[in-house]
């Protein structure tokens, strides 16, 4: 290491003289300018160091040019200021400070007549420290040998280099300390600033929530009546009441019906059945709440409620759904005998729907179309259609009812809810939570009736002049009746009906994943979902392998129990007919696995089997089963899938995105999901069917648009070209 350091010092010492000499030309100027035109050469010197400046200038005195020199440092010390320099000039001085110093030249034109090429050439040599000493004189004075003198010179040069490196290192440490101190101050300043911004943001959120809460409450005060989903009748029975104008109606003990558990056959609770008078009362109250006459306070009706008001109530409803999650789960399990997982999915989906619809409420907007007529203006307003009759099902009792109600309320419509007689408490809880969130009385009313009186009560509700639109979610058979009745009274209908969803398995699919998804799609909630996997269509080249995987997947599934014995018996009867027809069962069969629960089954069906020969071909089973078809091509799979009268949803299993998308565009279904379970929905995408599965779309903006109508208003100014009356 010492040897390497010595070599470095020697190299530096020899290198310094090589870079000190400099040659340049300096142009003469007339002088007298306000600012000097100097050419300066800068160097650095430590304090108390000897500096020798040797400047050799071309030309001579009296040649019409005057070359002046000025040697000074950056702290104001002048070391030499010779004038009219020519030839070789040497200046020696000892520095007064650690500082940069400049050797400056200025060439002034002094001749009266023009001078050819008024330029002086300068050769500048600056020696500092050891290089500036006269070593010949030192050698003679101290009687040193030439080698001793040279080594002494090199030693002093090396020492100067080391001293300069120490100085630079000291400066670097000072700069580092300064940077670290600055960084520390900047860090704490940033932390303090972020803390202030976070505190300000929290304060703003709290303030705005309080502001909008107070604004909503002042515009539409919440109902003062405390609502209870269950009331006691005179016999002490727990009864789901009819709920109108923010309050439950008195219960007639002779007009109640039981809700029976299919697991125990016991009455879970009871519900009050509506008569035509209760229907008219609910419709009239809904109209007054919509138009503004119900509150008798001078305030506008729900149709003129601000978007902020509607949005905030829906958001608070979502919060309350999460708070009352266990209550909602229990109600679904008690009434429909579903498994806890299905009830939980309903709650989670419902909260998602509520928040998404709330975020879309302010998206409803009209247009200002152009009019080719002078001084004329046109406006297209989107207005709520009016009171909506919502008839939801029991199989996804919470999510489908809440979505329908919320889309109508979000658009500014009032609602009459005809709850399912199989899940009246679940539907009543939705109404209760909405009123707890601050929904004005009369905007949401609910009633239910027995299955025996359903046709009469439903037509009475549809016929009421206050009802302006109907949303029905249920079977295709009932949907046809609802549609015909609505047409009779010229009422528009939004319908999401049953399905016979196909799952197409292509030869490039992940067969293991496809088998699991098909099995789950067929069995979840006892197959009582319009989105269930009812048909599995597989290409022949992978059929054998897929069937083996499908059987293994089905063996792990439990179908659960139907909502009542009639549903289970129908599903079993459809399978029994297939067995009697000679169809092969890969697994399961027409038998009960548990009380009111059909055994999960896969039955093989010939693709050419006509619909009228076998019910399972195109009839919704509503059981944990699926029919399996083997085809030889993509075209045959598409043809078979489209042969159904239904068109709600389909799935495709393929790893080839282009192939799957092309097939999806050919399928006659409202939604097609690739590599996914059939029981899938997204709160942000449109949902609805085609063909026998209904019409219209729900979810987000699409659902809100179903409950508004366009109104065209024009204004004709004084200069409008109005034709003269004949």
106 Cβ contact partners less than 8 Å away, ≥ 6 residues apart: 26, 36, 37, 38, 39, 67, 68, 70
Q: Which token pair is 138? A: 């030192």
DSSP state of 241: P
Catalytic residue among 338, 530, 705, 706: 530
Query: Cα(307)–Cα(540) distance, rounded to whole angstroms?
Result: 55
Cα dihedral sign, 612-625-675-669: positive
Reduced to 3 states (helix: H, G, I; strand: E, B; else coil), residue 32 is: coil
Give the H or E element holding residue 57: strand 50-57
* Contact of 390 with 469, CB cutoff 8 Å: no
154 Cβ contact partners less than 8 Å away, ≥ 6 residues apart: 9, 10, 13
Using DSSP bridges, classify how beta strands 415-418 and 625-631 pair: parallel, antiparallel or unpaired. Answer: unpaired
Would residue 518 show up in a list of annotated catalytic residues for this protein?
no
652 backbone dihedrals φ, ψ, rounded to 5°: -130, 140
Would residue 530 show up in a list of annotated catalytic residues for this protein?
yes
CB atoms within 10 A of CB 352: 17
Helix 476-488 and helix 454-463: axis angle, to 10°? 40
Catalytic residue among 496, 534, 620, 705: 496
Query: Cα(475)–Cα(692) distance, rounded to whole angstroms?
Result: 10
* Contact of 419 with 446, CB cutoff 8 Å: yes
* Contact of 101 with 51, CB cutoff 8 Å: yes
CB atoms within 10 A of CB 22: 12
Residue by residue, DSSP assigns 504-555 as EE-TTS-HHHHHHHHHHHHHGGGG-STTS--EEEEEGGGHHHHHHHHHHHHH
Q: Looking at the annotation, which residues are catalytic?
A: 496, 530
């Amino acid at each position: 290491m010492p040897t390497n350091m010595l070599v470095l010092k020697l190299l530096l010492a020899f290198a310094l003289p090589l870079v000190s000499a400099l040659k340049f030309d300096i142009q003469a100027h007339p002088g007298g300018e306000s600012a000097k035109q100097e050419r300066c050469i800068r160097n650095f010197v430590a304090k108390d160091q000897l500096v020798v400046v040797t400047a050799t200038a071309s030309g001579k005195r009296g040649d019409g040019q005057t070359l002046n020199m000025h040697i000074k440092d950056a702290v104001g010390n002048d070391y030499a200021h010779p004038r009219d320099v020519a030839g070789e000039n040497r200046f020696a001085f000892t520095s007064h400070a650690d500082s940069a110093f400049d050797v400056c030249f200025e060439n002034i034109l002094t001749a009266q007549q023009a001078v050819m090429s008024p330029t002086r050439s300068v050769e500048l040599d600056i020696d500092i420290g050891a290089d500036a000493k006269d070593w010949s004189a030192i050698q003679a004075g101290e009687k040193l040998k030439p080698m001793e003198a040279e080594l002494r010179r090199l030693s002093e040069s090396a020492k100067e280099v080391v001293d300069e490196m120490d100085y630079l290192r000291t400066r670097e440490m000072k700069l580092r300390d300064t940077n670290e101190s600055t960084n520390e101050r900047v860090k704490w300043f940033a932390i303090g600033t972020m803390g202030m911004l976070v505190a300000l943001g929290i304060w703003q959120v709290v303030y705005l929530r309080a502001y909008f809460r107070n604004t909503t409450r002042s515009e539409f005060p919440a109902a003062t009546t405390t609502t209870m989903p269950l009331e006691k009748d005179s016999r002490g029975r727990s009864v789901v009441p009819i709920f109108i104008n923010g309050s439950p109606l008195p219960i007639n003990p002779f007009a109640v019906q039981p809700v029976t558990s299919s697991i125990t056959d016991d009455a879970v609770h009871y519900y009050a059945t509506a008569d035509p008078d209760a229907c008219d009362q609910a419709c009239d109250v809904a109209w007054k709440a919509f138009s503004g006459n119900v509150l008798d306070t001078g305030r506008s009706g729900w149709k003129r409620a601000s978007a902020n008001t509607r949005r905030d109530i829906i958001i608070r409803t979502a919060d309350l759904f999460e708070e009352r999650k266990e209550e909602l789960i229990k109600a679904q399990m008690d009434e429909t005998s579903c498994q806890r997982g299905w009830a939980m999915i309903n709650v989670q989906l419902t909260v998602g729907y509520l928040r998404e619809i709330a975020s879309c409420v302010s998206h409803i907007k009209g247009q200002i179309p152009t009019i080719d007529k002078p001084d004329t203006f046109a406006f297209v307003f989107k207005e709520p259609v009016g009171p909506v009759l919502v008839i939801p099902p029991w199989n996804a009792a919470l999510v489908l009812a809440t979505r329908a109600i919320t889309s109508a309320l979000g658009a500014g419509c009032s609602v009459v809810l005809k709850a399912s007689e199989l899940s009246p408490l679940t539907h009543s809880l939705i109404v209760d939570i909405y009123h707890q969130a601050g929904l004005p009385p009369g905007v949401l009313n609910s009633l239910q009736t027995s299955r025996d009186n359903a046709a009469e009560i439903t037509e009475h509700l549809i016929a009421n002049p206050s009802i302006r639109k109907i949303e029905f979610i249920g079977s295709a058979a009932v949907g046809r009746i609802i549609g015909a009745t609505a047409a009779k009274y010229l009422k528009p209908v939004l319908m999401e009906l049953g399905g016979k969803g196909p799952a197409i398995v292509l030869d490039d699919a992940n067969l293991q994943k496809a088998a699991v998804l098909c099995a789950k799609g067929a069995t979840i909630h006892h197959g009582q979902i319009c989105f269930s996997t009812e048909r599995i269509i597989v290409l022949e080249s992978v059929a054998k392998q897929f069937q083996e995987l499908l059987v293994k997947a089905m063996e792990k599934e439990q179908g659960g129990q139907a909502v009542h014995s009639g549903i289970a018996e129908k599903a079993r009867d459809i399978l029994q007919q297939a067995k009697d027809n000679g169809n092969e069962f890969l697994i399961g069969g027409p038998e009960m696995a548990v009380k009111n629960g059909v055994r999960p089954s896969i039955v093989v069906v010939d693709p050419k089997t006509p619909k009228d020969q076998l019910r399972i071909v195109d009839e919704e089973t509503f059981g944990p089963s699926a029919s399996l078809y083997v085809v030889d091509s993509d075209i045959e799979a598409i043809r078979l899938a489209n042969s159904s009268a239904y068109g709600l949803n389909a799935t495709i299993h393929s790893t080839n995105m282009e192939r799957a998308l092309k097939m999806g565009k050919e399928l006659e279904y409202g939604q097609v999901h690739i590599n996914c379970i059939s029981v899938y929905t997204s709160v942000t995408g449109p949902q609805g069917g085609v063909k026998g599965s209904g019409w219209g779309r729900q979810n987000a903006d699409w659902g809100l648009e179903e409950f508004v109508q366009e109104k065209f208003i024009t204004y004709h100014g004084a200069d409008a070209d109005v034709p003269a009356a004949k």
